[in-house]
Amino acid sequence: MLLALKAFSMWSLAGLVGEHLDGVCASGLWEARLAREHYTGELTTYSPAYRPADLPELLRVSDTVIFNSPAQLARFSDVISRARDQGERFQIGLRLNPEQSECAVAKYDPCQGGSRLGFPVSQLRPEHLEGVDGLHIHVLCEQGFEPLRRTWDALSPKIADVLPRLKWLNLGGGHHITRADYHTDELVALLRDISGRHGLQVYLEPGEAIALDAGILVGEILDTFENSLTVAITDISATCHMPDVIEAPYRPAMLNESEGGVAVRLGGPSCLAGDIIGDYVFRAPPEIGARIAFLDQAHYSMVKTNTFNGVPLPAIALWNSETDALRLVKQFDYSDFRDRLS
């Protein structure tokens, strides 16, 4: 079980992650460096494409490097050979596109038509697996067990002939395994069956599931006025602090939202017209300075924050639910904005 750093890379909690998981997976050189500096256990790296200048270091720090296509793997065969001649030890993987769409939203579907993620299984030939230790398959996004079951039932007959040649199978991320209604027992049974039947080490790479329902983003009301409905400007920006609100899109849950009262449109302080968090119900119109908090903000929101318009980044703190102690981990200032520019 590997933590996908792309979703949650709060390395001040790396020790806690190491108590429960077998390692992490990275999406490129900088995440791989972060992994080696702060996390323990295995490190798997996958990217749709690698820059030639980055690959030698990636092969040095990673336990497994997964390529997106056989052609890319062949193109870097000399780099791989040199690294091994220098004593580096690592395994090589190939990402497959099972051509089995399970995501309802096309832009999050790794198997959509024309997908850039993974080599189509319909094009796979035995020679493509020369030097390959395992296959990587990622088709899910915030989903339960049944889509994985359907994917494996559709894919396994297509790769049955090549499975005996492999050491491992990586079933990627997107598994909502910490959600209360997830069919954990069925997942365990499937993984044990795959491992036992084919003699493979099986990996999962949950990201969001590691921090699901964790983390709150706290802000305050800066101004209010009427324009068809009550509008409130907050120091929380959808585009800067919760970009998935716009990209996904989705409506984040607000702590203690009222069941009845006044509808208030909450938006951020940036100049983007679409910097709207959503419409929420308050018992009465919120006063200037009122505090608000959005739930389930640890995953993805933290790694996607930006300083568009010079909007400040939120400070990061850890709360101990057993002792009620609050520890400020990171605070940002003007220099964090300035130093990204030139």
In the chain, domain spans: 2-211, 217-338
Which tens digits make up the pLDDT trace of 196-206? Answer: 999 999 999 99
pLDDT tens-place string over residues 222-246: 999 999 999 999 999 999 999 999 9
Residue among 281, 207, 270, 271 nearest 241 (CA)? 270
What is the mean predicted confidence (pLDDT) over 85-114?
A: 95
d(CA 92, CA 94): 7
Task: Return the sign of the alpha-carbon dihedral for residues 178, 182, 185, 187.
Answer: negative
* Statement: 2-211 belongs to CATH 3.20.20.10: yes
Burial of 181 (0-12, 13-18, 19+ CB in 10 A): exposed
Tell me which architecture the domain covering 217-338 has in CATH. Beta Barrel (2.40)
On whether the pTM is more than 0.85, the answer is yes
Q: Model confidence at 105, in pLDDT bands (50, 70, 90)?
A: confident
Q: Do domains 2-211 and 217-338 have the same CATH topology?
A: no
Question: Is the four-CA dihedral 293, 241, 204, 13 of positive or negative sign?
Answer: negative
Q: Taking residues 179-186, what's their average pLDDT?
A: 97
